[in-house]
Amino acid sequence: MSEIVRKGTRYFASLMLIIVINFILPRLMPGDPVKNLIGEDAYVSEEVMEELRAELGLNLPLSEQFTSYLSNLLHLDLGYSYHLHAPVAEILLNKMSWTLIFVGVSVVIGALLGCFLGALAGWKPDRKMSHFTGFIFVVLSCIPPYFLALLTLYIFSFKLGLFPSKGFYDTPEIGSVLHHLFLPICVMSVFSASRNFLVMRGSVIQEKEQLYALYARAKGLYNNDILFRHIIKNASLPIITLLALDFGFLFSGALFIEIIFSLNGMGVMIYNAIMGKDYPLLQGAFLVIAITVLLANMFADLLYALIDPRVRGGLDESI
């Protein structure tokens, strides 16, 4: 039980720290949200400005603003957007569904592709094909996702005209959605696969030298049987941790790629909220992203315990 309590306390402390940072971060940005809301060309008296600040709650001390923010969170109220004039929860639900589809598909494809190719390359690292794929994935892992997105957009959209350059769809049909999301998903999947490939390759090289692999060979199992029935299960343990970390990393990278491909998802929404100093929308977006990454790490912990009996045994003993 002590292990479960320890993990629960750690995640709760992380959540509290996220809430505090999430409140402070937008307010550290330069500029006045009220002036941004009115516009630079409009002239408004200082009395009217103060009335607007009072209406938005920005005239209160930071401690009172934070108390109000916590109270709203406890009532599952993320606030009201200054610029979009709608509840933040409603806006996020609409935008985040597209981003989660985009990121989720990329994570799955990247994990499967990177793990499979990495396992083959690690099993026989001296082959020319293993050296070639290793070189390609090292190069891809060093390229920032936004640069890779700009490159593919220039080649396949502007030069060749094979794919659309912006939007989620022309018409709300599955074919149009797949056509528009093909390039963004490919970019994120390739970048995710490169990281998974390198980790899986190193893990397989290490695991194949263990005694259980030699014992499996002594029983008469062939190479592919040893790799896919024994080694790959143990070698995939570091991938679980990487996927949990990658989920947050890909989520942040997806925001930039959404801006490059003009996808009207979380990325464009956060960019507009930053430019407009829309505190409630920024707080809601950052909080939802942080909680999503936190849940991904919690799921990774549970999956790790299910796959590795040593971890599961430790949890059982603590209970």
Query: How many Å apart are CA 68 and CA 63, to the nearest integer?
Result: 9
Q: What's the whole-model pTM score? A: 0.71
Domains and CATH numbers, the chain: 88-318 (1.10.3720.10)
Query: How many Å apart are CA 254 and CA 148, to the nearest integer?
Result: 12
Which residues partner with 27 through β-bridges? none
Average of per-residue pLDDT across 233-253: 71
Average of per-residue pLDDT across 141-170: 81
Give the pLDDT of residue 3.
65
Q: Give the highest mean pLDDT range of 107-111, 162-166, 214-218.
A: 107-111
> At a CB cut-off of 8 Å and minimum separation 6, what does 228 contact?
119
Q: How many helices (H) and strands (E) does the chain have?
A: 15, 0
Judged against a pLDDT cut of 60, whether residue 319 lies above it is answered with no
Q: Is there a contact between 204 and 123 (Cβ–Cβ < 8 Å)?
A: yes
Hey, what amino acid is at 195?
R
* CA–centroid distance for 127 within its chain: 34
Half-sphere exposure of 20 (CA within 13 A, CB side): 7
The DSSP code sequence of 127-153 is SHHHHHHHHHHHHHHHS-HHHHHHHHI
Average of per-residue pLDDT across 155-182: 79
Give the pLDDT of residue 262.
78
Q: What share of the chain is helix, strand, coil (3-state, %, to 5)?
A: 80, 0, 20
Average of per-residue pLDDT across 278-290: 83
Hey, what amino acid is at 209?
E
Give the pLDDT of residue 298.
79
Q: Is there a contact between 205 and 279 (Cβ–Cβ < 8 Å)?
A: no
Nearest CA to 259 among 153, 132, 129? 153
Give the pLDDT of residue 129.
86
Which residues partner with 87 through β-bridges? 80
3-state SS, residue 222: coil
Query: How many Å apart are CA 223 and CA 97, to the nearest integer?
Result: 42
Burial class (CB in 10 A: 0-12, 13-18, 19+), 53: middle
* CA–centroid distance for 116 within its chain: 22
Compute the CA torsion angle 64, 65, 66, 71 (nearest 10 deg). Answer: 90
CA dist 191 to 16, 137, 154, 249, 250, Å? 31, 8, 18, 11, 9
Average of per-residue pLDDT across 141-167: 83
